[in-house]
Amino acid sequence: MKLVPLERFKLTWWSPGQPNTLHSAMFASLDQAMAEAETKGGPHLVMESVMVGDGKYQWKILPLGSYGLWNAGVRVYDARWVLAAILLIAGLHIISQNQRKTT
């Protein structure tokens, strides 16, 4: 297997018909990454390398492409227990209202 050389920017995308497969490519410039993103036509994220060392990498997700969906998904995931509690309380309230109407 030939590894892709590490560049400053990374484009990741999902292809139609392959929802469980994440593709990626490296680019030296943001303009190159964005030009390639336009050819994909689907959801994508653009990242910038912020740390490389000792076999580890850190990427900053830039506010481009599907960043808004990614950010919203992270926030929903972080608040999953609060959302579950709200849904449980709302469900119990609806059940109690229905029981009052039948009695």
Question: Which pLDDT value is given to residue 69?
Answer: 75
Confidence of residue 75 (pLDDT cuts 50, 70, 90): confident
Question: Which pLDDT value is given to residue 70?
Answer: 67
Output the pTM of the full model: 0.65
Dump pLDDT digits (tens) for 50-59.
988 887 889 9
Contact between 35 and 64 (Cβ < 8 Å): no
Mean per-residue pLDDT, 38-60: 86
Per-domain residue ranges for the chain?
9-102
Q: Is the pLDDT of residue 80 over 80?
A: no
Residue from 46, 49, 66, 47 nearest 57 by CA: 49
Helix or strand holding residue 59 (H, E):
strand 56-61
